[in-house]
A and B are shown apart, each in its own frame.
Chain A
Amino acid sequence: MDSQELYWFSDSVLHRLDPRLKVGGLAILSLLLTLTRWQGLVLTSLALMGLVIISHTPLRLFRGMTFVLLWLGIFYGVAAGWVWSQSASFWQGHWSQAGLLQAVFMLWRITLIFGLTRLFAAVTLPMEQGLGIVYFFAPLTSLSTKAAEFALLLTLTLRFIPLLGEEAALIWKARMIKGNWPTTWLRRSWEICQLIVPLILISLKRAEELGETMLARGYGSGSFRTFLIHERTAMDWWGGIAVGLWGVLLLIWH
């Protein structure tokens, strides 16, 4: 097993699930987590721990969230827990138990949503994530031309990310021929600014080529269709039922 960026290579049940189920599940559960009470938070905490075990992802993958959560904890702790009267100044305030409890609940919710998102990124390849997202925008294509074009924009963006990554790597290699990457912050900033211009020019050239190809192939406004990316299996159905049940419980406890 090995990790590449945010994805963790493994062959667990979660890795094999339909990306549409993972994208939809993450979106619905994240929304419901903002509404649910402590019972829902306990259930989600236990379920998240179970999912981490099932997915064979190591806990160190979640370590990157520590700093952000610490910062958010301080922000919500001070914003909700520190109170002062209107006639007094900020420094003459005191800690409020109710406010601190509110901050703890807020941080708990955020930790769970961030944890679910991190797990999602660890068990779903970036391209699968993108295609899963586009799938949910596909129904919009029947609403209006603009919506269809927005869905097309999402797909094109996902196709361009690896392509522009390759272009950036080529520009980077060309730059490295000139000499080592500077160590000082100021010189590195200047070098980055120098690289942005050719990267954007090449990217725009690619876009123009694509635009011409689309026109040549008879692209008509609003004629975008997504394609199926995954055969649904029995495991996906069971996964869907589990997410549905989880969501209903969060809603009941809201």
Chain B
Amino acid sequence: MNVRKLAMSSVFAALMCLTGMLIHWAPALIPFSILPVFVYLSGLILGAEYGAMAMLVYLVLGLFGLPVFASAPFGGLGYILKPTFGFLLGYVAAAYVVGRFYREGSLWRAITGVFFGLIVLYLFGLSYLYVILHWVLHQTTSIAGVLAIGFVPLLFMGDLIKAGLAVWVGQEIVRRR
């Protein structure tokens, strides 16, 4: 394993934790959740494996009780029972997908990578919602039903803007380093 990349992965996991903490300690300071931006950035800067590893570290620390998630109770295994937990799982997959698509310096690769990362994020989020409805609550549900509950067009538009922001920040960082 590359030691330099290992240290950079821990920095990205720490940035995710710090942002999660800041969202609930100083909500007036951060106007929107910038966690997805860091997810895409980890894929762009660290690559597929290390980006996914950084997100996995964030997820593990949160699930074991460290208060790093954005909403109450901010950590713990109880998050597994939240219908939106799939989006947290999707962070790992999204970072991997972004890293797989991206080639350093290529703007188009960054745009397509982040776009596919966003799709994967929603795929995980909505699939988990389906699992909760179908397997935990034993409700007969369809894909259309899951989309009606879990897919909010306005939020998706917001996520598209965040994806664009990640591309801009990622290119800036690659250029300046």
For chain B, residues 41 to 90, give those with C-beta under 8 angstroms from any C-beta of chain A.
41, 45, 53-54, 56-58, 60-61, 64-67, 71-78, 80-83
Q: Does A240 contact B (CB under 8 A)?
A: no
Contact A118–B6 (Cβ < 8 Å):
no
Contact B177–A204 (Cβ < 8 Å):
yes
Bound Cα distance A106, B132 (Å): 11
Most chain-B CB neighbours within 10 Å: which of A26, A86, A109, A124? A26
Question: What A residues does B57 contact at CB under 8 A?
Answer: 150, 153-154, 157
Question: What A residues does B131 contact at CB under 8 A?
Answer: none
Bound Cα distance A154, B168 (Å): 29
Among B1, B5, B14, B67, contact of A145 (Cβ-Cβ < 8 Å): B1
| A207-B75 in contact given A192-B30, A193-B169 (Cβ < 8 Å) | no
Among B8, B15, B72, B76, contact of A113 (Cβ-Cβ < 8 Å): B76
Contact B53–A120 (Cβ < 8 Å):
no
Contact B72–A67 (Cβ < 8 Å):
yes
Among A5, A86, A165, A207, contact of B11 (Cβ-Cβ < 8 Å): A207
| A154-B18 in contact given A65-B72, A130-B66 (Cβ < 8 Å) | no
Tell me the smallest distance from the CB of B22 to a CB of chain A, in Å: 8
Most chain-B CB neighbours within 10 Å: which of A27, A153, A203? A153
Q: Mark B134-158, 1 if CB is under 8 A from A, else 0.
A: 0011011000000001000000000
Question: What B residues does A117 contact at CB under 8 A?
Answer: 65, 73-78
Bound Cα distance A203, B173 (Å): 11
Contact A156–B61 (Cβ < 8 Å):
no
Q: Which of A46-54, A214-222, A244-252 contacts B (4 or more CB under 8 A)?
A: A214-222
Q: Does A76 contact B (CB under 8 A)?
A: yes
Contact A161–B14 (Cβ < 8 Å):
yes
Contact B60–A79 (Cβ < 8 Å):
no
Contact B76–A201 (Cβ < 8 Å):
no
Where chain A touches its partner, the secondary structure class is helix
Contact A80–B139 (Cβ < 8 Å):
yes
Contact B34–A196 (Cβ < 8 Å):
yes
Q: Does A211 contact B (CB under 8 A)?
A: yes
CB-based nearest B residue for A114: B73
Bound Cα distance A137, B149 (Å): 37
For chain B, residues 6 to 34, give those with C-beta under 8 angstroms from any C-beta of chain A.
6-15, 17-18, 21-22, 24-25, 29-32, 34
Question: What A residues does B7 contact at CB under 8 A?
Answer: 156, 207-208, 210-211, 214
Contact B8–A207 (Cβ < 8 Å):
yes
Query: Size of chain B's interface in residues, with CB distance under 8 A?
Result: 65
Question: What B residues does A150 contact at CB under 8 A?
Answer: 53, 56-57
Tell me the smallest distance from the CB of A55 to a CB of chain B, in Å: 15
Q: Does A139 contact B (CB under 8 A)?
A: no
Q: Does B111 contact A (CB under 8 A)?
A: no
CB-based nearest B residue for A137: B60
Among A65, A72, A130, contact of B82 (Cβ-Cβ < 8 Å): A72
Among B1, B6, B65, contact of A129 (Cβ-Cβ < 8 Å): B65
New A-B contacts (13) at CB < 8 Å, excluding given A6-B74, A113-B81, A207-B8: A72-B82, A133-B61, A133-B66, A159-B10, A160-B11, A168-B22, A189-B31, A196-B37, A204-B177, A207-B7, A207-B11, A211-B4, A211-B7
Footprint of B on A, CB under 8 Å?
Answer: 5-6, 23, 26-27, 30-31, 34, 64-65, 67-68, 72, 75-76, 79-80, 86, 102-103, 106, 109-110, 113-118, 120-121, 124, 126, 129-130, 133, 136-137, 145-146, 149-150, 152-154, 156-161, 163-165, 168, 181, 185, 188-189, 192-193, 196-197, 199-201, 203-204, 206-208, 210-212, 214-215, 219, 221
Lowest 5 A-B CB distances belong to which pairs? A117-B76, A113-B78, A160-B14, A156-B10, A211-B4
Footprint of A on B, CB under 8 Å?
Answer: 1, 3-15, 17-18, 21-22, 24-25, 29-32, 34, 37, 41, 45, 53-54, 56-58, 60-61, 64-67, 71-78, 80-83, 132-133, 136-137, 139-140, 149, 165, 168-169, 172-173, 176-177
